[in-house]
Structure 1
Amino acid sequence: MNTKQDNIIRTDYAEIMQKSYIDYAMSVIISRALPDVRDGLKPVQRRTLYDMYELGIRYDRPYRKCARIVGDTMGKYHPHGDSSIYDALVVMAQEFKKGRTLVDGHGNFGSIEGDGAAAMRYTEARLEKLTQEVFLEDLDKNVVDFMPNFDETEKEPVVLPVRIPNILVNGADGIAVGMATSIPPHNLGEVVDAVKAYMKNNDISTRGLMRYLKGPDFPTGGIVVNKDDLVKIYESGTGKLRIRGRVEIEKLKGGRQQLVITEIPYTMIGANIGKFLNDIATLVETKKTTDIVDISNQSSKEGIRIVLELKRDADVENLTNMLYKKTRLEDTFGVNMLAVADGRPETLGLKQIIAHHVDFVFEVNSRKYTTLLAKEQEKREIQEGLIKACDVIDLIIEILRGSKSRDQVKKCLTDGITEGIKFKTKTSEKAAKTLKFTEKQAAAILDMRLYKLIGLEIDALMKEHEETMKNIAAYEDILNNYDSMAAVIMGELDQIKKEYGSKRKTSIENAEEAVYEEKKMEETEVSFLMDRFGYMRLIDKNAYERNKDAAHAESRYVFTCMNTDKICIFTDTGKLHTVKAEDIPLVRFRDKGVPADNLGNYDSTSEQILYVAPLSQVEASTVLFVTENGMCKLVKGEEFRASKRTIVSTKLAEDDRLVFVGAADEMDQVVFQSEKGYFLRILKTEISVTKKNALGVRGMKLTGEDRIHHAYLLESRQEYAIEYHDKPYVLNKVKLAKRDTKGVKPRV
């Protein structure tokens, strides 16, 4: 007896999770994120281009709405959401991202400065001529395999029959599971020359190929400045390119000059242009340079033009080097030439990519000319049948007249069966029995029209037959001779280069490391102010003296420091964040300043500031730490000297946090206040001086759910009062006791 329990498969949960995740990862790697080395396209790109081809949206026909293209692609081939398809379509139309655009966009397809494309219902597109002629031609000649789509109602190509190494021409980028690809674009003409060089000599080295393919050619231009590293990068398929923008010097009236950035690094496209302008503005605001008078972005459809107006006698070379070092005007492009080859992801060098492409092109052409040869052989068979029929046309007419059905005539033409056919003479019947036309020839004869018997038509048939025989000979030569096939492929490559080639945009050279002399900051005394919202600012010392009362009334922390100092920010999580004083804006007294979050690693959403002081003062003092659970310790300030922007200032128990941090050198007593209203006053000498990574000692004994609310440092000769239950309470009057006791609760 079968039960439902018989169908239960017992297996380990970890095993199922592992298998499921591996399946998911491979799906992302092969079917979504990585390009195929043969056509250089990801599945979404391939499907979009094929759908446009199927819809007949050719380069010489009207544009069609992108929404139609996206919807059709999603419904037939790519069921992963419309945004992924439209994003892929937009990128294929953006000339600042691709070496050669594959889609001709009409409408707002975004800008180099990071503006997004308009919604798909507004934009239109069609195939580029290059895409149609180089990527999609010959699909009707059985050159690539087709596979069922996701619901097996349509067929889609496994790969497109691309005749150039598109993975090099347009590059690729994508993030899969556990791996990523980043391939720079290259110049089409140089790529074609490199492919031809490989075809002529399969043993050519990577260095040999690079005599033709000089290096990356970014659509944004720029300068690759590490030429000597390129051979190693192209041999291994991984490495880093250093790219610089192109800077020109223009002279103005009055002996002044301006720097004009006419080309940017490829990595700067998008929002990074705005960040670049902000970085320059920050350099000016923080007085890192005083040579720049004005910044303007004059970029347009004609190209990039960022103008930096300089003051008279500016050190142009030093300023240019500073821009290379301190901004993204010089940037790195990480190369990782990872692609799907033979069904699996593989990091490929330049020669391997070209080798894969050449093998693919030979396979495509072999299938193409096999298909063409079969068609020509079929034409030859029919033509020979028609020529032979012209010689015995009288007999064929006699057979037609004497037959009762088409099948009777066909059997007579193919097998010489004359039963049931009336002939005028025995001679005709005897001749009919010798006929041996093929099935296709017989069908062609029966479909032949009478006007084909005109002399001129017969001559045309003979010439057509001669042409067919020439084609057959040519196709057989191509299929049977490597050199002939190679000559055809190279001829096509030459034609592609002639029609679609363009001049190189990116320069390749070796440049020295950008070195600039940073002007030493003039050391001056400034006043630091931080309000209760965490906004920091520096003001001139004279401005502070004029507004001293307002500064202390409106600010939580006020102190004087040198502009070369660092500011220490201690928080309740036990972290110490340091900010260079020179990074804090020097402003007028009434200006707001900037949040501490913007200048360091401090996070106002998860941390609370307990103490702020200049590093020079902290280093010269001893710092008291008190935690919510009653732990306390003293730490020498020199322990907080560190190069990192954020360090751990004290060790905390898992469920503990700081409630007080302060400089304790000039104080001799400590008062603890608990949440339940207990006060404990002890001598500072009872608290141990420890390292910052120690937990410390217990300062106050807490009962039940009680916690330390605050701590106070006192100088015994000075009276210190706080407000407690809306009344003043003098802390010096709290009974002096020993550490680790409960303390007293004042009467209210």
Structure 2
Amino acid sequence: MLTEDRLIHTEYSEVMQKSYIDYAMSVIISRALPDVRDGLKPVQRRTLYDMYELGIRYDKPYRKCARIVGDTMGKYHPHGDSSIYEALVVMAQDFKKGMALVDGHGNFGSIEGDGAAAMRYTEARLKKLTQDVYLSDLDKDVVDFVPNFDETEKEPEVLPVKVPNILINGAEGIAVGMATNIPPHNFGEVIDGVIAYMKNPDINTEQMMEYIKGPDFPTGGIVTNKDELLSIYSTGMGKIKIRGKVEVEKGKGGREHLVITEIPYTMIGLNIGKFLNDVYGLVESKKTTDIVDISNQSSKEGIRIVIEVKKGTDIENLKNMLYKKTKLEDTFGVNMLAVADGRPETLGIVPLIRHHVNFQYELATRKYKTLLAKELDKKEIQEGLIKACDVIDLIIEILRGSKNVKDAKACLMTGDITNIRLKSKKSEEKAMQLRFTERQASAILEMRLYKLIGLEIEALMKDHDETLKHIAEYEDILSNRATMAKVIIKELERYKKEYAMPRRTAIENAAEAVFEEKKIEEMDVVFLMDRFGYAKTIDVGAYERNKEAADTENRYILRCKNTDKICIFTDRGQMHLLKVLDLPYGKFRDKGTPIDNLSNYNSSEENLVYIAPMADIRQKKLLFGTKTAMLKLVSGAEFDVAKRTTAATKLNEGDMVLFVHPVAESDHIVMQSAKDMFLRIEAGTIPEKKKGAVGVRGMRLASGDQLEAIYLLREEDEPVSVRIKDKEVVLNRLHVANRDTKGVKR
């Protein structure tokens, strides 16, 4: 039973707030954002470290990815295998990373968006670069190790990466309330930038950009806003404009081909297919008639998308059209957000490099302290062995006179001869003067006899000299920051010489793509739509020649301009717009295209009530009538909108549009209910409303009754009659009554 003193009273909102903040920080720090020091997210760091621990080195055989993923998940990253495998795959894809960190064997996906094979089929191992530059000093106590999630293993808090990986490979990630998107850069240029900073810590962004020109995407391409890069790299935020590289090649028959050999980085994956579809769309919508064919001839050798064009095409104008209307020109949103000193921070390029250089000094300090300690230990042992060689006869005598190792060691360390039997007083005096350290004594006792050979003693002396040289070198590095900087710079220069690659992305100030759209020649056409919903447009002459067949076979026939729009009103109160140019234009016997595929109209969910060209309704008033007898007039100009779908009228719950048609004030309206009630009113008595209004009641319906039809009567029309059961009702003879009355029974 709970007592009052065991209950904790707290505000629910405070608990939720604290819990959400804890969750958000966990996502930000432990999953989504890279650390500014090694440029890696936790899942990437853990995967690389696990491969290092498993011994899957660049010069060793590949291992199954399932083995790597399983080991990483079991030891370090308990967040599901898919996130680990996805991270592993991305680190192996050289078209996504500036420098791939994993050497993948098998199907690791493609630049066109194909996914990697299942982890049980693929294999991987570390790249030489990763082993040399990212993991090489883990055995020298250069980084802190922390307990894993269940405290059964230790993992590095950060990897001892020697280059600014956050710039070289970039980063992307979505956290809670924040996201990072850092472009990749050229390996050699970044190293030059680091060296420049180390030589001049007061370097500014503009000076830094003399070394790091801008992003270097693995897909190449062209950065077109060079002048804006200074602001982007100063603030860590902005938009980089990138274009694909387009070359002109001569084809057969004098035709020219536009060949895309490099694509924007943002086009990686399914966006290549989208680009091809966009180009098809430009042709189908007749935005351009210059393109004859397009084919994707890309392979492992690289991107090659060939666009065949007509003779006499304005190539420059067509290129600009592709830049403007497709993903061939795109923007990369830069947000250089990383975890620095345990908290997320947006950093410019100089602060990023500053954090990296400070980390390098920290790594070097810890590395050379570890190496110095080892050399000092070695020096101590070497000095003891050298000293022992000078009194080797005495040491042998001590060993022969000892009953056990403990007594011999005590004698070597303190000169205690109590339990040692020596041959002479002189030996006793010398033995009592021995003062070897514990390490030296242990080394002497473990020394093998062959070490007494003259050449071995010379080698020992030589090793001692080398050790003294290393100690002096390490002490100089640790006590002199300038010396340490030289060591770091020398190492960076070695990495650059071994791993740097030529720049792939061009940086320039390109003029904005401007193209002239060809003006469409306006012409009269006839819109035809059959009872199955297949629509097309044909030439007026073709219609006149086939008028009888066209009138018989088609449900809707509209004369319009090819530049006009078709308005489709439905019983759900919606109006769908369809550009006439989007309709297939061709011969009378062409099948056409379902209108559902060309507009937002869905014939399976709504019924077509009225269809007309925009030009026919723009200057008129449209009458809307519903099944519950709600009426209103709406100006046709209200429907001259750009949206493909708009609400044509407001409907009460359960109501549906029954009638839409242009009317004049002199027209009459006849409403017919399901219970055979008729009411004839003047159109002029119906008020004009906005399209967002419900309207007014046109007929007072009996309980359970609803309108079945609405008829439009014009003065010039022939008499209109409808058959009710066995009777024929002539609508023109009905008495004109007031709106909102019951009507008459027929």
Instruction: Answer yes or no: same fold by TM over 0.5.
Output: yes
Aligned to 2:483: 484
Contact map agreement 2:33 2:339 (CA 8 A) in 1: yes
1:48-447 mapped onto 2 (5 Å cutoff): 48-447=47-446
What letter matches 1:713 in structure 2? L
Q: Which stretch has the larger CA shift, 148-157 or 420-429? A: 420-429
Q: Could you say if the C-alpha distance between residues 529 and 11 of structure 1 is closer, same or farther in structure 2, counting changes exceeding 3 Å? A: farther
Q: Deviations over 1:196-215 (max 9, x none)?
A: 11111111111111111111
SS in structure 2 opposite 1:663?
A: strand
% identity of equivalent residues? 68
Deviation at 1:602, TM superposition (A): 5.4
Contact map agreement 1:681 1:737 (CA 8 A) in 2: yes
The CA distance in 2 between the partners of 1:668 and 1:445, in whole Å, is: 122
Aligned to 1:522: 521
Q: Could you say if the C-alpha distance between residues 464 and 13 of structure 1 is closer, same or farther in structure 2, counting changes exceeding 3 Å? A: same
What letter matches 1:58 in structure 2? R
1:450-489 mapped onto 2 (5 Å cutoff): 450-489=449-488
What letter matches 1:426 in structure 2? K
The CA distance in 2 between the partners of 1:425 and 1:541, in whole Å, is: 134
The CA distance in 2 between the partners of 1:137 and 1:255, in whole Å, is: 58
What letter matches 1:193 in structure 2? D
The CA distance in 1 between the partners of 2:109 and 2:70, in whole Å, is: 21
The CA distance in 1 between the partners of 2:429 and 2:624, in whole Å, is: 123
The CA distance in 2 between the partners of 1:605 and 1:50, in whole Å, is: 56
What letter matches 1:401 in structure 2? R
**Structure 2 residue 24 is matched with structure 1 residue 45:** no
The CA distance in 1 between the partners of 2:727 and 2:149, in whole Å, is: 77
Aligned to 1:642: 641
Aligned residues: 745
The CA distance in 1 between the partners of 2:312 and 2:609, in whole Å, is: 47
Aligned to 1:689: 688
1:530-549 mapped onto 2 (5 Å cutoff): 530=529, 536-545=535-544, 548=547
What letter matches 1:480 in structure 2? S
The CA distance in 2 between the partners of 1:423 and 1:669, in whole Å, is: 140
Deviation at 1:694, TM superposition (A): 3.5
Q: Could you say if the C-alpha distance between residues 655 and 163 of structure 1 is closer, same or farther in structure 2, counting changes exceeding 3 Å? A: farther
Contact map agreement 2:666 2:682 (CA 8 A) in 1: no
Q: Could you say if the C-alpha distance between residues 707 and 61 of structure 1 is closer, same or farther in structure 2, counting changes exceeding 3 Å? A: farther
The CA distance in 1 between the partners of 2:93 and 2:549, in whole Å, is: 55
Contact map agreement 1:666 1:715 (CA 8 A) in 2: no
Aligned to 1:578: 577
The CA distance in 2 between the partners of 1:728 and 1:362, in whole Å, is: 101
Q: Deviations over 1:662-697 (max 9, x none)?
A: 322488233445567755443222210123343422
What letter matches 2:230 in structure 1? V
Aligned to 2:507: 508
The CA distance in 1 between the partners of 2:404 and 2:43, in whole Å, is: 55
What letter matches 1:287 in structure 2? K
SS in structure 2 opposite 1:294?
A: strand
Q: Could you say if the C-alpha distance between residues 622 and 463 of structure 1 is closer, same or farther in structure 2, counting changes exceeding 3 Å? A: same
What letter matches 2:222 in structure 1? I
Q: Which stretch has the larger CA shift, 161-170 or 712-721? A: 712-721
Deviation at 1:161, TM superposition (A): 1.0
What letter matches 1:740 in structure 2? D
The CA distance in 1 between the partners of 2:525 and 2:375, in whole Å, is: 91
The CA distance in 2 between the partners of 1:32 and 1:728, in whole Å, is: 78
Aligned to 1:568: 567
Contact map agreement 1:566 1:580 (CA 8 A) in 2: yes
Q: Which stretch has the larger CA shift, 569-578 or 353-362? A: 569-578
Q: Could you say if the C-alpha distance between residues 19 and 318 of structure 1 is closer, same or farther in structure 2, counting changes exceeding 3 Å? A: same
What letter matches 2:224 in structure 1? V
The CA distance in 2 between the partners of 1:4 and 1:683, in whole Å, is: 80
Q: Which stretch has the larger CA shift, 379-388 or 689-698? A: 689-698
SS in structure 1 opposite 2:712?
A: strand
Q: Deviations over 1:282-314 (max 9, x none)?
A: 222222222222222221111111112222211
Q: Could you say if the C-alpha distance between residues 397 and 682 of structure 1 is closer, same or farther in structure 2, counting changes exceeding 3 Å? A: same
**Structure 2 residue 616 is matched with structure 1 residue 617:** yes
SS in structure 2 opposite 1:560?
A: strand
SS in structure 2 opposite 1:24?
A: helix
SS in structure 2 opposite 1:197?
A: helix
Contact map agreement 1:667 1:714 (CA 8 A) in 2: no
After superposition, the CA RMSD in angstroms is 2.7
Deviation at 1:549, TM superposition (A): 5.5
Q: Which stretch has the larger CA shift, 680-689 or 371-380? A: 680-689
Q: Where in structure 2 are there 5+ consecutive unaligned residues?
A: none
The CA distance in 2 between the partners of 1:23 and 1:725, in whole Å, is: 75
Aligned to 2:739: 739
Aligned to 2:668: 669
What letter matches 1:402 in structure 2? G
Q: Provide TM-score, normalisation by structure 2.
A: 0.93
Q: Which stretch has the larger CA shift, 20-29 or 187-196? A: 20-29
SS in structure 2 opposite 1:491?
A: helix
Deviation at 1:473, TM superposition (A): 1.0
Contact map agreement 1:667 1:713 (CA 8 A) in 2: no
**Structure 2 residue 550 is matched with structure 1 residue 559:** no
The CA distance in 1 between the partners of 2:467 and 2:177, in whole Å, is: 55
The CA distance in 1 between the partners of 2:149 and 2:89, in whole Å, is: 24
Q: Which stretch has the larger CA shift, 235-244 or 250-259? A: 250-259
Q: Could you say if the C-alpha distance between residues 586 and 175 of structure 1 is closer, same or farther in structure 2, counting changes exceeding 3 Å? A: farther
The CA distance in 1 between the partners of 2:567 and 2:414, in whole Å, is: 105
Deviation at 1:222, TM superposition (A): 0.9
SS in structure 2 opposite 1:318?
A: helix
Deviation at 1:86, TM superposition (A): 1.5
The CA distance in 2 between the partners of 1:196 and 1:728, in whole Å, is: 99
The CA distance in 1 between the partners of 2:485 and 2:576, in whole Å, is: 66
The CA distance in 1 between the partners of 2:125 and 2:249, in whole Å, is: 41
Deviation at 1:83, TM superposition (A): 1.7
Q: Could you say if the C-alpha distance between residues 295 and 435 of structure 1 is closer, same or farther in structure 2, counting changes exceeding 3 Å? A: same
Contact map agreement 1:286 1:585 (CA 8 A) in 2: no
SS in structure 2 opposite 1:62?
A: coil
What letter matches 2:374 in structure 1? K
Q: Could you say if the C-alpha distance between residues 428 and 701 of structure 1 is closer, same or farther in structure 2, counting changes exceeding 3 Å? A: farther
Q: Which stretch has the larger CA shift, 650-659 or 302-311? A: 650-659
Q: Provide TM-score, normalisation by structure 1.
A: 0.93
Q: Deviations over 1:626-655 (max 9, x none)?
A: 345543210111222334444443345577
Contact map agreement 1:623 1:637 (CA 8 A) in 2: yes
The CA distance in 2 between the partners of 1:164 and 1:243, in whole Å, is: 26
Deviation at 1:596, TM superposition (A): 5.1
SS in structure 2 opposite 1:691?
A: coil
Contact map agreement 2:91 2:97 (CA 8 A) in 1: yes
Contact map agreement 2:179 2:337 (CA 8 A) in 1: yes
SS in structure 2 opposite 1:174?
A: strand
Deviation at 1:437, TM superposition (A): 1.7
What letter matches 1:738 in structure 2? N
The CA distance in 1 between the partners of 2:740 and 2:184, in whole Å, is: 70
SS in structure 2 opposite 1:116?
A: coil
Deviation at 1:152, TM superposition (A): 1.7
Q: Which stretch has the larger CA shift, 132-141 or 145-154? A: 145-154
Q: Which stretch has the larger CA shift, 644-653 or 201-210? A: 644-653
Q: Deviations over 1:47-80 (max 9, x none)?
A: 1111111111111111111121122212222222
The CA distance in 1 between the partners of 2:349 and 2:536, in whole Å, is: 53
What letter matches 2:428 in structure 1? E
Contact map agreement 2:665 2:683 (CA 8 A) in 1: no
Q: Could you say if the C-alpha distance between residues 494 and 684 of structure 1 is closer, same or farther in structure 2, counting changes exceeding 3 Å? A: same
What letter matches 2:248 in structure 1? I
The CA distance in 1 between the partners of 2:52 and 2:729, in whole Å, is: 86
The CA distance in 2 between the partners of 1:6 and 1:725, in whole Å, is: 84
SS in structure 1 opposite 2:585?
A: coil
